[in-house]
């Protein structure tokens, strides 16, 4: 009885292996691809170190860099020192300050309100 089960399982495994495509592929990569891979890896480590230098936690910096593609990591590593730190925030703050100055000092309503205060 055991012999029959072993034969059945063996035949079943042989049939399954015959149906599955067993393919493996090995190939050589070119020098350009190897160099670009090394450059991308180097850019990732230097970018993570630069982000840590700017005050981002180590784990978070490595996670952010890992989310980038190789091309993005290379371009960001080249531009990280030249990129503005908070350019849009500065513009927003200046806009809000300009609005407040206009509203409370320059506008007609502000001058009317200041005239009422002087009369009282």
Chain segment 18-70, per-residue pLDDT in tens = 887 777 777 888 888 888 888 888 888 888 888 888 788 888 888 888 888 88
3 state SS of 28: coil
| pTM of the predicted structure, to 2 decimals | 0.43
User: Alpha-carbon distance 41 to 73, whole Å?
Assistant: 9
**pLDDT at 86 (0 to 100):** 55
The domain limits of the chain are 29-83, 85-120
User: Alpha-carbon distance 70 to 37, whole Å?
Assistant: 8
């Amino acid at each position: 009885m055991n012999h029959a089960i072993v034969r059945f399982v063996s035949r079943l495994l042989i049939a399954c292996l015959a149906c599955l495509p067993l393919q493996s592929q090995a190939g050589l990569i070119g020098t350009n691809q190897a160099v670009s891979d090394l450059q991308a890896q180097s850019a990732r480590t230097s970018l993570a170190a630069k982000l840590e230098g700017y005050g981002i936690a180590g784990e978070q910096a490595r996670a952010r860099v890992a989310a980038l593609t190789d091309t993005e990591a290379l371009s960001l590593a080249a531009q990280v020192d030249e990129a503005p730190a908070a350019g849009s925030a500065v513009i927003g703050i200046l806009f809000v300050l300009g609005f407040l100055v206009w509203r409370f000092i320059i506008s007609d309503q502000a001058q009317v309100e200041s005239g009422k205060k002087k009369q009282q």
